[in-house]
Structure 1
Amino acid sequence: MQSDLRGRDLIGDLDFSKEEVETILDVAWDLKRKRALGESHAYLRDKTLAMLFFFSSTRTRGSFESGMAQLGGHAAFIESRTTQISHGDTETEMGEIFGRYFDGIAIRHVDWGIGNRYLNLVASASRVPVLNMQCEIYHPHQCLADIMTIIEKKGRNLKRKKMVVSWAYASSYLKPISVPQSLILQMPRFGLDVVLAHPPEFKLMPEIMEQAQEAARVAGAGFEVTDDMEAAFKDADVVYAKSWGPLLTTQDPDEGKVIQDKYKSWITDQRKMDLAKEDAIYMHPLPADRDVEVTSEVMDGPNSVVFDQAENRMHAQKAVMALTMR
């Protein structure tokens, strides 16, 4: 166990070593047990967390705010449009000032080419930990909840287990690429054989792909890429299928929508799930476009773990906050 994560930022998935991630998971399971038994675990009594949102949220706000309260502290919800950021507060001001008001700063900013840089600039000026609630490159706390859920369902020995990370069609908007990028970085470190499936226009960042391949090599795990959704699903133990935008092809939303609409057949339905193993689990970070991105039959079916996954957001994030904000 890596026992001292005090003061550490969590912005990218590789900011913490595999051993440090395992420490977070162990603490998360302990906090989950305490929550189930009604045992007090106010490790952050009188501590405060600033939650700065540039992008709307359901699970992220709810899980951080509730988790901070359970740890004995307080989380302040701050919508960027209610601040003076648009009138001159720079990243340096936000880091310096919030770093003096609060004991931690959590930020969600997914604008392409802006969000990750913003988080890192705030972190460089802050005296307290900066936690990434999602940027355009990474979604590390979602990924911690995901590996926590996979281990709960499939056991700690994930060697030779096949995980599909697949694009899926959605009609609502061009979603960030941060979830699949975090998944392909983190999951190979735990021995999972990852198959990334997407249409040609929906590639991920080249540097992320290189890091994922290296993580798989070090762990002795597989990492493959295909443009065939059904082939990817075959004999999978874990199916993680969600939409993301063709952001490396175009940042124009209208052009991106035209590209996206070419692939309406990329829906996770029961026929495709039947290609996976009988006990395969279906995962999605939510919200999902029901009966467009995934059928209700799958999302509400016996293989779906999406609500366990959503719950684990809170437990994993509590572990990160307890370890970094002490």
Structure 2
Amino acid sequence: METAKTLVHYQAVQPSEFKGKDFLRGDEFNRQELEYLLKFAGELKRMQKNGQPYQPLKGKTLGMIFDKASTRTRVSFEVGMYQLGGMAMYLNGKELQLGRGEPISDTAKVLSRYVDAIMIRTFAHAGVEELAEHATIPIINGLTDLFHPCQALADLLTIQEQKGSLQGVKLAYVGDGNNVANSLVLAATLLGLDVRIATPAGYEMDQTILLQARQYADGSGGKLLATTDAELAVYGADVVYTDVWTSMGFEAENEARLKDFAAYQVNRALTNLASPEYIFMHCLPAHRGEEVTADVIDGPHSVVFEQAENRLHAQKAIMASLIE
């Protein structure tokens, strides 16, 4: 039987190429490296389901800094680190000296002497970049206002499992051009998917990120369409993806967003335009009756809980690759 160690024999990428690197956006790694991480995640998932222990991180510690509330990120990282043989330490950002004005650079240098990697879930992406600049250990972005790369890797693992391949898969994202969209579009275009993103006017993805994604699509054989037309994006899609209309940190805009996004609800009428074998994805938490109707998210095409589970396996691949 294959073990996770055998991955190095049939991949062009060597595990040593990951050691000590950061995972901040979702496109730090090239196509071959992302494909390696996806295969590694799939192998780790198979081993965990079969009760085969793989614990390369014995004696290693992950520091987890949280400035934002979390369910999936916290639990999946803690459980993942435990399954890999290490331990995870929860650090409430408000209770650290960071919350009393200590420079990020000092915190990075101190924690680099205590733990083997840091996962941080916070607001400003610039703060994570500064942390990575001054740390001597891997920094993993558990979510910022601009990017959510761990979610993107889990999403692509789910699509690969459900569709058998990624190349040419038609992925429609409908809703806010937010952090989830940014990382998903960057990674998906790197891997050759046909990506369509439909957002209301005024809620588009960052144009610099879109430009980078177009360049990735040109190099990978993928496609990228950015539009305000949800029906155009979903027509013939293999995957229909949405997220909440109001992300953490934007609660003051909720009333306006409910009006602006009303025509972008993923419902039965919209999904009828997709491929008959489409899958529905949502990074959760979901607000049934807002961005998606209950009959879609709880219906036979939905894979949202498989997608949520894959956060565990994708993040284990990231941690084992960056720390081991």
Q: TM-score, normalised by structure 1?
A: 0.91
Aligned to 2:160: 151
Distance 2:78 2:209 in 1: 30
Within the candidate set 10, 22, 26, 1:9 is matched to 22
Aligned to 1:208: 209
CA contact (8 A) 2:174 2:266 kept: no
Letter in 2 for 1:24: L
Deviation at 1:256, TM superposition (A): 6.3
- Per-residue Cα deviation, 1:197-222 (whole angstroms, up to 9, x for no partner): 01111111111010011111111222
Aligned to 2:307: 309
Distance 1:53 1:246 in 2: 16
Within the candidate set 246, 253, 264, 2:262 is matched to 264
- Per-residue Cα deviation, 1:8-48 (whole angstroms, up to 9, x for no partner): 11112111111111111111111111100111111100100
Deviation at 1:290, TM superposition (A): 1.2
CA contact (8 A) 1:203 1:246 kept: no
Aligned to 1:173: none
Deviation at 1:304, TM superposition (A): 0.5
Output the aligned Cα RMSD: 1.9
Letter in 2 for 1:150: I
Distance 1:252 1:273, change over 3 A: closer
Q: TM-score, normalised by structure 2?
A: 0.91
Within the candidate set 68, 73, 97, 1:60 is matched to 73
Deviation at 1:161, TM superposition (A): 2.3
Within the candidate set 98, 103, 108, 2:111 is matched to 98
Q: Does 1:161 align with 2:159?
A: no
Deviation at 1:88, TM superposition (A): 2.5
After superposition, where does 1:114-125 map in structure 2 within 5 Å? Answer: 115-125=124-134
Distance 2:172 2:219 in 1: 20
Within the candidate set 139, 147, 156, 1:138 is matched to 147
CA contact (8 A) 1:202 1:245 kept: no
CA contact (8 A) 1:44 1:73 kept: yes
- Per-residue Cα deviation, 1:289-309 (whole angstroms, up to 9, x for no partner): 112211111111110010010
Aligned to 2:8: none
Distance 2:254 2:294 in 1: 26
Deviation at 1:63, TM superposition (A): 0.4
Distance 1:296 1:255, change over 3 A: closer
Letter in 2 for 1:279: E
Q: Structure 2: state its 5+ residue gaps.
A: 1-10
- Provide the secondary structure at the position in 2 that maps to 1:149: helix
Letter in 1 for 2:213: A
Aligned to 1:21: 34
Farther-moved stretch of structure 1 (252-261 vs 85-94): 252-261
Distance 1:87 1:226 in 2: 43
Deviation at 1:159, TM superposition (A): 3.2
CA contact (8 A) 2:174 2:198 kept: yes
Aligned to 1:171: none
- Provide the secondary structure at the position in 2 that maps to 1:298: helix
Distance 2:202 2:168 in 1: 29
Distance 1:246 1:308 in 2: 22
Within the candidate set 127, 136, 152, 2:136 is matched to 127
Matched length: 311
Deviation at 1:265, TM superposition (A): 3.2
Aligned to 1:241: 242
Deviation at 1:255, TM superposition (A): 5.4
CA contact (8 A) 2:244 2:285 kept: no
- Per-residue Cα deviation, 1:73-93 (whole angstroms, up to 9, x for no partner): 100111111222122321112
Within the candidate set 82, 93, 97, 1:69 is matched to 82
Q: Does 1:193 align with 2:191?
A: no
Deviation at 1:262, TM superposition (A): 3.2
Letter in 2 for 1:97: V
